[in-house]
Amino acid sequence: MIDTLARVISPAYAALRPFAPEVRGHAAAVIDILVEESISVPASFADDMAHVAALPPHEAVVVLDAWAASIKAAKPERGTMKFVVEHFPAWYRACPALAREAWLAGMPKLAPAAKGLEAEGMSNLCEAMNATGDSYTAHKLIESAASYAMTTDPAIRAIASLQLAAAKRQRPDLWLQLAQAFPAERLEENRDAENFLPAAAKMVKASGDDAIAALELATLFAGNSSGGRAACEKFAAGSKPGLFSEARDVIGALGIRASSAALAKLPNTALTAQILETRREYGIQAALRLLERGSL
């Protein structure tokens, strides 16, 4: 029967051979979509199916069902559907065991954005999943990315990049703050909000080893999407060792209005200490004057 189906309908049916009868129907559901939507069979399809067939039956069923659901979720964008067909098994294999349940639950929601994320963005997301360390954080990570699935490609790629930076440094709270500051519906309504996340990702990437301070600085800028986006762009362009940790402390004490002066005057450890002391003793205006002029 398999040979007849492969010859008469689609060569994809040949990939059903390694499946046990109780799993085969779930694998056939993936093939049904390929046939119905006239999606070409990827060169790796037989090998990918064989890998799934080698899993314990209960796991194979869950993987196949999530694969089929993710392809359907990518409709009607055929390029995205084909992208999910080709790459889903590799993405699953790239996730550690503790994150696989989260990945399977989240991918059908994220699928419309998969092609927009491109190979690099999806690789970043898989790497971030590897860095989570526990199932709860993995669920939160992919839920956050999936919430942006219907917005813009640059915003989606940025959230993946920011998640990776935070997850690798074991600070998921920082990207959660950014995601909560810019929910998907806000990105759709506000161009400044839409552009903030890519600008923040650019700043964090430019900060190098000071990424935690840059992420914390981004959370300070997030309250003002217009000024915050511009500030992130400027800090990315003016990146230098020591800048981000001192700027985080100063802007945290004085507010975003101090960002231009902080970029111009910092890093300066002695000045930073003096500014923070002045803020504690004499208030914001005195500390701002000290930052802007270098003296009172």
Average pLDDT of the residues in 106-123 = 87
Return the pLDDT at 168: 79
132 pLDDT more than 80? no
Q: Which residue has the tokens 């690099």?
A: 120
144 pLDDT more than 80? no
* Identity of residue 52: V
Domain residue ranges in the chain: 1-94, 242-296
In terms of Cα–Cα distance, which of 165, 161, 179, 106 is closest to 138?
Answer: 106
283 pLDDT more than 90? yes
Question: Helices 153-168 and 135-146, interaxial angle, to 10°?
Answer: 160
112 pLDDT more than 80? yes
Query: How much is the pTM?
Result: 0.75
Mean pLDDT across the chain: 87
Burial annotation 25-41 (CB, 10 A radius, 16+ → b, else e): ebbbbbbebbeeeebeb
Return the pLDDT at 64: 96
139 pLDDT more than 90? no
Tokens standing for residue 52: 């799934």
Return the pLDDT at 185: 64
CA dihedral 267, 271, 274, 280 (to 10 degrees): -40
Distance CA 25, CA 20 (A): 9
Distance CA 292, CA 225 (A): 23
96 pLDDT more than 90? no
